[in-house]
């Protein structure tokens, strides 16, 4: 309907829309991976984003848009950067309380900090309180879509979905499946895992912009019977996603080898149970071979690269070059509470730092290019949308996309102001925002054309 209306009206020189709003500012978005060609990168100085009824109508220079449209309303963000909202491809909402807890690496971290915290989410009021805080923080940080781990208790999923629905957010989550190697109050069984997941899928399907992800925590906390249940859920409910952790830490990888001695690799465990699909997102994937990246590329599965978490937990340095050489789809994730911030700007800073460190430790540093500013922004927006198989609706500003967007102030803090006041190139300013920005840099967050911050 919408497209035919727009197409029809394109025949007339000036387009009048009932509730058309123009947002003036410097516009940045991607229509593909800028590594594959400059034509996918769209930076419009003094541009305008046209939005109607929650959808993108057009973008262009302010002068071109003035000739083409007569918007109902103009919002002037001149001097600010307007971008699609950030997409966090891996985060744990019950873990915000333990962010920056000291001194442990993955397996001890889980036992000492994560599991005790997640047990508190069996109480509906507690889950609702933290769901509220979490969604508010996402919006404050300019994140408009996220793929989120809840806990193994369905109460936590209900709390998160209720809050996301009330803010009309496009958000994907699911109940964690785990039936071993964790405290008893957090464990389910293959039978309850199926039942609880399917009830949640039925309960939340077609509600707002929500999606469901089958969520086995990681191979060590699910028996073979439970991983088989995860595969069955994917077959029984073809619309759902799959999220899990993969090869984050060396001890974890060895443990998986002892738990599944028949497997060829960690990813092979998931493959065996039918979990490597186009809608599967594997968080971390730090210790992954070339062959496994090839399997992911072949299956159109995605990686959530979580640099702040990988640095904080001392897990390792994700091989972005190798994943990209193999054409694996990559998005960025905060992985809070293991990552130290819900700011995707800080995650972009971390991603750059990881590529610098890889260069420092490589035998062939000349082959490693520090992550380029535009590529980094792509990963946080359209790259994330592709990782979540949502690039047909979000992540860009092409006509018909859902108008989830953010307005960023390049002068939001003193240091950033000093750095961005010297008339640099757009690329240089964008790089400075990536390296030095935080939630203060996000002046506004719009969800489907409605101002949420």
Binding segment for ligand GUN among 72-80, 81-89, 106-114, 358-366 (CB under 6 A)?
106-114
- Binder among 48, 252, 292, 335 for Zn ion (CB under 5 A): 335
Task: Indicate the residue among 269 and 430 with the shorter CB distance to ligand GUN.
Answer: 269
Tell which positions 63-122 bind Zn ion, by CB under 5 A: none
Count of residues of this chain found to bind ligand GUN when the rule CB under 6 A is applied: 11
DSSP conformation letters of 95-140: GGGGTT--S--HHHHIIIIIHHHHHGGGSHHHHHHHHHHHHHHHHH
| DSSP line for 232-282 | HHHHH-TT-EEEEEES-SHHHHHHHHHHSTT-SSHHHHHHHTT--STTEEE
CA distances from 23 to 27, 52, 56, 146, 300 (A): 10, 11, 11, 25, 35
346 counts as binding ligand GUN under rule CB under 6 A: no
Residue 333: CB minimum distance to Zn ion, A: 7
- Indicate whether 179 belongs to the interface with ligand GUN (CB under 6 A): no
Identified binder of ligand GUN from the candidate list 91, 98, 110, 448, rule CB under 6 A: 110
* Binding flag, residue 309, ligand GUN (CB under 6 A): yes
> What is the DSSP-derived secondary structure letter of residue 369?
P
Q: Does 175 bind ligand GUN (CB under 6 A)?
A: no
Using CB under 5 A as the binding criterion, the count of chain residues that bind Zn ion stands at 2
Angle between helices 190-204 and 224-236 (to 10 degrees): 20
335 touching ligand GUN, by CB under 6 A = yes
CB of 434 to ligand GUN, least distance (A): 23
Token pair 């070339």 in the structure block, residue: 290
Show the site string, 189-218: x = touches ligand GUN by CB under 6 A, - = not. ----------------------------xx
167, 170, 232, 245: residue in contact with ligand GUN (rule CB under 6 A)? 245
Q: Is 181 in the site for ligand GUN (CB under 6 A)?
A: no
Which residues, other chains included, contact 193 with Cβ-Cβ below 8 Å and sequence gap of 6+? 175, 177, 179, 226, 229, 230
Tokens matching residue 70: 């007569």
Q: What residues numbered 261-290 form the site for Zn ion, per CB under 5 A?
A: 283
Q: Does the footprint of ligand GUN cover residue 226 (CB under 6 A)?
A: no
Q: Is 248 in the site for ligand GUN (CB under 6 A)?
A: yes
CB 219 within 8 A of CB 259: yes
Q: Which SS3 state, helix, strand or coil, does residue 189 take?
A: coil
Nearest partner of 45 among 366, 356, 424, judged by Cα: 424
Residues that bind Zn ion (CB under 5 A): 283, 335
């Amino acid at each position: 309907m919408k497209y035919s209306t727009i197409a029809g009206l394109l025949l007339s020189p000036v387009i009048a829309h009932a509730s058309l709003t123009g947002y003036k500012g410097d516009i940045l978005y991607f229509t593909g991976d800028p590594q594959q060609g400059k034509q996918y990168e769209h930076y419009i100085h003094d541009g305008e984003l046209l939005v109607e009824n929650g959808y993108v109508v057009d973008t262009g220079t302010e002068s071109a848009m003035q000739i083409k449209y007569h918007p109902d309303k103009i919002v002037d963000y001149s001097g600010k950067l307007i971008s699609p909202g950030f997409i966090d491809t891996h985060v744990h909402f019950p873990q915000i309380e333990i962010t920056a807890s000291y001194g442990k690496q993955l397996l001890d971290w889980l036992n000492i900090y994560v599991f005790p915290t997640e047990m508190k989410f069996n109480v509906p009021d507690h889950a609702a309180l933290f769901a509220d805080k979490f969604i508010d923080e996402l919006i404050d940080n300019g994140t408009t879509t996220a793929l989120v781990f809840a806990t193994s208790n369905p109460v936590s999923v209900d709390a998160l979905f209720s809050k996301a629905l009330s803010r009309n957010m496009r958000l994907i989550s699911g109940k964690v499946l785990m039936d071993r190697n964790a405290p008893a109050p957090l464990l389910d069984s293959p039978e309850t895992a199926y039942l609880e997941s399917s009830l949640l899928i039925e309960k939340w399907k077609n509600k707002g912009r929500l999606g469901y992800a089958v969520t086995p925590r990681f191979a060590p906390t699910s028996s073979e019977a439970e991983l088989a249940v995860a595969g069955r859920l994917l077959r029984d409910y073809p619309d759902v996603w799959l999220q899990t952790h993969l090869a984050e830490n060396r001890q974890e990888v060895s443990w998986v080898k002892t738990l599944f001695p028949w497997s060829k690799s960690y990813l092979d465990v998931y493959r065996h149970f039918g979990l490597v699909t186009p809608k599967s997102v594997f968080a971390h994937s730090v210790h992954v071979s070339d062959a496994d990246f090839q399997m992911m590329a072949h299956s159109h599965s995605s990686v959530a690269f979580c640099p702040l978490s990988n640095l904080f937990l001392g897990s390792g340095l994700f091989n972005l070059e190798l994943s990209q050489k193999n054409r694996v789809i990559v998005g960025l994730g905060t992985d809070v509470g293991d990552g130290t911030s819900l700011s995707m700007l800080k995650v972009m800073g971390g991603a750059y730092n990881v590529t610098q460190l890889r260069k420092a430790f490589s035998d062939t540093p000349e082959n490693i290019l520090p992550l380029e500013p535009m590529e980094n922004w792509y990963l946080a927006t359209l790259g994330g949308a592709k990782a979540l198989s949502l690039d047909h609706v979000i992540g860009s500003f092409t006509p018909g996309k859902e108008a989830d967007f953010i307005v960023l102030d390049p002068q939001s803090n003193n240091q950033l102001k000093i750095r961005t006041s010297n008339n640099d190139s757009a690329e240089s300013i964008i790089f400075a925002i990536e390296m030095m920005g935080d939630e203060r840099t996000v002046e506004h967050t719009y969800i489907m054309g409605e101002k949420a911050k």
